[in-house]
């Protein structure tokens, strides 16, 4: 049996969704939220042993401009 490299992350997401709170999951195209796309890639680029959930107190250096452009509503091509 092959275990997916994202098993721990998927398990944590399922655990969070199963808690006694109201949760709404909504799909947004990555072009419409470059910051979330950047964070997803950032998380997946980490070694699988370190793909647990964590809190980021300060945005990683590469994320600042994406946050700014998401804030003002600018959309970039997905190649960025």
Which pTM does this prediction carry?
0.47
Structure confidence by residue, pLDDT tens digits, 10-38: 888 888 889 898 878 888 776 677 788 88
CB atoms within 10 A of CB 50: 9
Alpha helix (H) residue ranges in 1-80: 7-18, 34-45, 64-72
Residue 74 pLDDT greater than 80, yes or no: no
């Amino acid at each position: 049996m092959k275990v997916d490299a994202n098993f721990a992350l998927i398990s944590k997401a399922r655990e969070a969704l199963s808690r006694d709170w109201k949760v709404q999951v909504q799909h947004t195209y990555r072009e419409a939220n470059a910051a979330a796309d950047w964070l997803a890639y950032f998380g997946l680029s980490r070694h699988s042993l370190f793909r647990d959930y964590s809190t980021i107190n300060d945005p990683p250096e590469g994320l600042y401009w994406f946050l700014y452009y998401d804030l003002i509503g600018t959309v970039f091509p997905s190649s960025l």
